[in-house]
Amino acid sequence: MQKNIFFLYFIISIVFANAQEIWDWNKCIEYALENNIQLKLGSINKQVAEIEVKKNTFNYTPNINAQSNYNFRIGKNYNYFQNEYVNQLVHYQDYNLNIQQNIFDGLLTKNQIQKSKIDLKSLELDNEALKTNLQMQILTAYLNILNAKEQLTQNKTQQQSTLEQKARTEAMIEAGALPESNLIDIQVQLAT
């Protein structure tokens, strides 16, 4: 039973190990740029800033409001022509049109537009700096991995060289050409 469980575990491990994809640093950077929460938030903030620029630009346009009211009265109403109250139906309608336009607001609108454009440019630059920093972090991590692999290869080569040197030293000690203290130095080097 235990052999079957171990065999099943071994097969599943091989299947999942083969399913892994190897990414180069370009793929890592692309994935990070697509899925980074700070970049997504920066993109949303940029859209809000673009809307703010448009909103401030529309402050130059006039405000126009129109309104209409219709009223209907039944019963005693005052008749101004006859100067008395009369039972009658009265219909009347009111119209209202209001237009407002700032003539001069102390350059407030112009300065708000400039400020919102500068804020938008600042957000764009912040997003670019964030992208660059993210790319640098990924590249640094990738280079650290490559460096660690290279160090591992060098350590394996050094270990193999030390094992060969140990074998030669043991042979020379058996022949009486070297003292045993040389073997201890090589064993310390091998342990390191």
Instruction: Note the pLDDT tens digit of each residue in 53-103.
Output: 999 999 888 989 999 999 888 888 787 788 888 888 878 899 999 999 888
Closest to 122 in 3D by CA, of 38, 16, 49: 49
Backbone angles phi, psi at 24, to 5 degrees: -90, 180
Residues recorded for the chain: 192
The pLDDT confidence band at residue 112, using thresholds 50, 70 and 90, is very high
Average confidence (pLDDT) over 25-37: 87
* DSSP symbol at 105: -
The answer to whether the predicted template modeling score (pTM) of the entire model surpasses 0.85 is no
Reading the block at residue 152, the tokens are 């591992």
Burial of 162 (0-12, 13-18, 19+ CB in 10 A): middle
